[in-house]
Chain A
Amino acid sequence: MKQFDKELKERAKNEPFPLPEDYAGRVFRTCAALEETAMETPKNSASHKKHTKRWMAWAAAAVAAFIAVPNVSPTAAAAMSDVPVLGALVEIVTFREYTYDDGHSSADVSVPELSGGEAADQVNEEVQAYTDRLIAQFQQDCEETGEGYLGLDVSSEVVTNTDSWFTLRINATRTQASGAEFIKIYHIDKTTDQVVTLGDLFQPDADYVSVLSDEVRRQMEERMAEDEAAGYFPDQFTAIAPDQNFYWNEDGDLVLVFDEYTIAAGFVGTPEFVIPQDVYASLVRS
Chain B
Amino acid sequence: MQETPLISKELFCTQVIENQEAMFRTARAILRSDEDAEDAVQEAICAAFAHRGDLRSPEKFKPWILRILANKCYDACRGRRPTVDLTEVQDFLPAPSADPTERMTLWQAVLTLNEDLRCVVTLFYYEGFSIREISGILGIREAAVKTRLSRARARLRLLLREE
User: What residues make up the interface of A, taking CB atoms closer than 8 Å to B?
Assistant: 1, 4-5, 8-9, 11-12, 15, 17-20, 23-24, 26-28, 30-32, 34, 36-37, 39-40, 54-55, 57-58, 61-62, 65-66, 69, 103
Number of A-B contacts (CB under 8 A): 84
- Interface residues in B, total, Cβ within 8 A: 35
Q: Chain A contacts of B45 at CB under 8 A?
A: 27, 30-31, 34
Residue of B nearest to A58 (CB): B10
Q: How many angstroms from the CA of A8 to the CA of B53 in the assembled complex?
A: 36
B12 near A54 (CB under 8 angstroms)?
no
Find B102's partner among A12, A40, A103 (CB 8 Å cutoff): A103
Q: With a CB–CB cut-off of 8 A, which chain A residues contact B128?
A: 9
B71 within 8 A of A: no
Q: Which residues of B contact A15 (CB under 8 A)?
A: 105-107
**Hey, what's the 0/1 contact readout for B76-101 against A, CB within 8 Å counting as 1?**
00000000000000000000000000
Q: Are B53 and A65 in contact (CB under 8 A)?
A: no
Contact call A31/B153, Cβ cutoff below 8 A: no
Residues of B within 8 A of A23 (CB): 20, 24, 34, 38, 41
B residues near A (Cβ < 8 Å) are 6, 8-10, 12-14, 16-18, 20-21, 23-25, 34, 38, 41-42, 45-46, 49-50, 53, 102, 105-107, 125-126, 128, 153, 156-157, 161
Question: Would A5 and B12 count as touching, CB distance under 8 A?
Answer: no
Whole-angstrom CA separation of A265 from B124 in the bound complex: 33
Closest to B122 in A: A12
A23 to B41: give the CA distance in the assembly, Å.
10
Take A12-B126, A34-B45 as given contacts and tell me if A20 and B17 are in contact as well, using a CB distance cutoff of 8 Å: no
Q: Which residue of A lies closest to B19 (CB)?
A: A27
Given A30-B45, A30-B46, A9 contacting B125 (CB threshold 8 A): yes
The list of the 4 closest CB pairs from A to B, nearest first, reads: A58-B10, A31-B13, A11-B106, A12-B125
Q: Is the interface of A mostly helix, strand, loop or mixed?
A: helix
Q: Which of A40, A65, A103 has a CB less than 8 Å from the CB of B17?
A: A65
Chain A hits for B107, CB < 8 A = 15, 17-18
Quick one: given A4-B153, A55-B9, are A31 and B16 in contact (CB under 8 Å)? yes
Nearest to A24 among chain B residues (CB) is B20
Q: In this complex, what residue of B is CB-closest to A28?
A: B17
CB distance from A147 to the nearest CB of B (A): 15
State which of B6, B12, B38 has its C-beta within 8 Å of the C-beta of A26. Answer: B38
A26 contacts across to B, CB distance below 8 A: 38, 41-42
Give B10's nearest chain A residue, CB to CB: A58
Choice from B12, B18, B41 contacting A34 with Cβ under 8 Å: B12
